[in-house]
Amino acid sequence: MDNHFTITIHDDNGVQQYNLHHFVKKVILYVAMFLGFIAFFSVMTILYLNHEVEAIDIKRMAMQKSYKEIELKNKELNDNMNATLETLLSKKEELDRVSQSLSDIETLIGLAPVEEMTLQERADIAKLSSEDMATLLQFIPSGSPVHYTGIGGDFGRRIHPITGKIEYHAGTDMRADMNTRVNATADGIVEFAGPDGKSGYGNLIILQHNYGFKTYFAHLNKIVIKSGQFIKKGDLIAYSGNTGLTSGPHLHYEVKFMARIVNPIWFIKWDALNYKEIFEKENEIPWQSLIKATAHIKVPNPTQAQPLSQSVHQ
């Protein structure tokens, strides 16, 4: 016989009896179902939350990766900007130096730049003037015919070191040891090359240049060119010596314009560094007319004048 309690309830509907053992079973069943539901809901909730957490982690990792990529790109962009800025600053400094150099060239050749002019326009004008300058320095005697070591005898009136008489010294005696190279100071043609017994010049070379200029090289030891030969500025024409009426080895150098004697020292000193000085010092030559006449001539490969020591420019 089962051990159980019977509960009898009387109401308007009649008499109802409940077996306590079955009631407990139902309670336990309901509790179990409730707990099972709670457990299922909890598991599903945990699974859902885990899924969301994983999704959030994936998004977080993706965001971190994107952040690092953006940070790297920002760094690269910043580095590129800094490099570009440094390049721009370097180019600006370079342009400033170019502008200053151009200003020096403009000052050298007597140009007055206009503020509204661009750097390219200024450079074009300076180039034209530089080409004109190169033409004059190529065709008109300029620079030293020998390696410059000083002047032994000045141009003008003097007492001749051999005869003792007062005379007009038509050239400049340039210090030069025996067999020093003598170079042409402008393009031209050899008018005379050989011994000259009448003037006391000894072995003499006369070069005829463009626009009425001539140069004379006297007291030479050895001549290496011939009459009628065309000569370029800077070509070797002879070696200095002690021939003729002279007290020692040197080079007697003369410059003439239209058969008129001019002071050679201004032509010896004449180069790109003091281009305008000769126009002030030697005013017997119609420079403006000469510059105008040569403005259309361009020398493709002008000869660089032989550099002088600082003393000759003082």
Decide if pLDDT at 101 tops 50.
Answer: yes
Residue range 42-97, pLDDT digits in tens? 888 888 888 888 889 898 888 888 888 888 898 888 889 988 888 888 888 888 88
Same domain, 155 and 51: no
What's residue 309's pLDDT?
A: 43
Counting residues of the chain whose pLDDT is more than 90, the rounded percentage is 29
Domain boundary among 26, 51, 71: 71
**Residue 65 included in any domain:** yes
What's the confidence (pLDDT) of residue 253?
96
- Residue 311 pLDDT: 42
Whether the predicted pLDDT of 310 surpasses 50: no
pLDDT of residue 1: 47
Total domains in the chain come to 2
DSSP 8-state secondary structure symbol assigned to residue 13: T
Are 111 and 129 contacting, i.e. CB atoms less than 8 angstroms apart? yes
- 103 domain-assigned: no
Residue type, 83: A
Q: What span, in angstroms and rounded, lies between the C-alpha atoms of 278 and 259? A: 19
pLDDT tens per residue across span 220-268: 999 999 999 999 999 999 999 999 888 889 999 999 999 899 999 999 9
Average pLDDT, the chain: 82
What percentage of the chain has pLDDT greater than the value 70?
Answer: 79
Three-class HEC string of 169-208: ECCEEEECCCCCEEECCCCEEEEEEEEECCCCCEEEEEEE
* Residue bearing tokens 């490969």: 301
Contact (Cβ atoms closer than 8 angstroms) between residue 190 and residue 226: yes
Residues 6+ apart with CB under 8 A from 284: 257, 260, 262
| DSSP string computed for 77-127 | HHHHHHHHHHHHHHHHHHHHHHHHHHHHHHHHTT----TTS-HHHHHHHHH
Whether residues 39 and 158 share a domain: the answer is no
pLDDT of residue 260: 92
pTM of the model: 0.59
CA 303 from centroid of its chain's CA atoms: 22
Residues 150, 46 share a domain: no
Residue 15 is part of which domain span?
Answer: 6-71
Domain finish residue from 25, 55, 71: 71
Residue 133 in any domain: the answer is no
Residues 12 and 153 in one domain: no
| The pLDDT value given to residue 227 | 95
Name the burial class of residue 156, with classes exposed (0-12), middle (13-18) and buried (19+) by CB atoms within 10 angstroms of its CB: exposed
pLDDT at 291 over 90: no
CATH of the domain at 220: 2.70.70.10
pLDDT per residue as tens digits for the range 135-191: 888 999 999 999 988 887 777 666 666 656 667 678 899 999 999 999 999 999 999
